[in-house]
Amino acid sequence: MRSSSILVAGVALIALAGASDRKIYDPARDPSKDLTVAMAEARADGKLVLLEVGGNWCGWCREFDRFVRADPEVEDALRCAFVVVRVNASPENGNARFLARYPEIPGYPYLFVLDSGGRLLQSMDTDDFLSGEAYDRRKFRAFLRKWSSPGKARPSPSESRP
């Protein structure tokens, strides 16, 4: 009995360690290419593009990823409203040239809402979704509702071209 408890505890620790080592942001990706693909998908699907800027080194970035993945309703609502592009910002690759076209980022993770033509509609710190020391489902769902509503900003056909 005791050895099986140790085995179960060991497997749980390995699973937790693996979850914390999950690579959310890939320093090798080209965000310009990713954005071009995302804009085409957004145009085809009637969605917006969400640039999520952060790094694997960032505890709040990992927590934001965990928060979204842990709630199937939130994750589904996010995917219904947006084509998500994760942009790495780390010492390995800060993607400074790509990010220079957007407002300064005061902290991570940071979000940029773009229309399907790449036009910036909103930039925001994910601190806006916090209640105390945790991300708040209600606040994030309100953000998602705002951008998934029929009245959200839509580009004209001429603005949709990259």
SS3 34: helix
* Domain contains 155: no
Question: For position 107, which CATH number holds?
Answer: 3.40.30.10
Tell me, yes or no, whether 160 lies in a domain. no
Tokens of 69: 């993945």
The band of 22, judged by pLDDT with boundaries at 50, 70 and 90, is confident
Answer whether residue 46 is part of any domain.
yes
Average pLDDT over all residues of the chain = 85
Q: How confident is the model at residue 63 (pLDDT cuts 50, 70, 90)?
A: very high
Q: For residue 152, what pLDDT band results from cuts at 50, 70 and 90?
A: low
Kindly state whether residue 122 falls inside one of the protein's structural domains.
yes
Q: Where are the beta strands (DSSP E) in the chain?
A: 48-54, 82-88, 110-114, 120-125, 130-131, 134-135
Per-residue pLDDT, 8: 38
- pLDDT tens across 33-56, in order? 999 999 999 999 999 999 999 999
Domain encompassing residue 121: 25-150
* Pick from 91, 69, 89: nearest CA to 79: 69
Total domain count, the chain: 1
- Scanning 21-129, the segments in alpha helix (DSSP H) are 31-45, 59-70, 72-81, 96-99
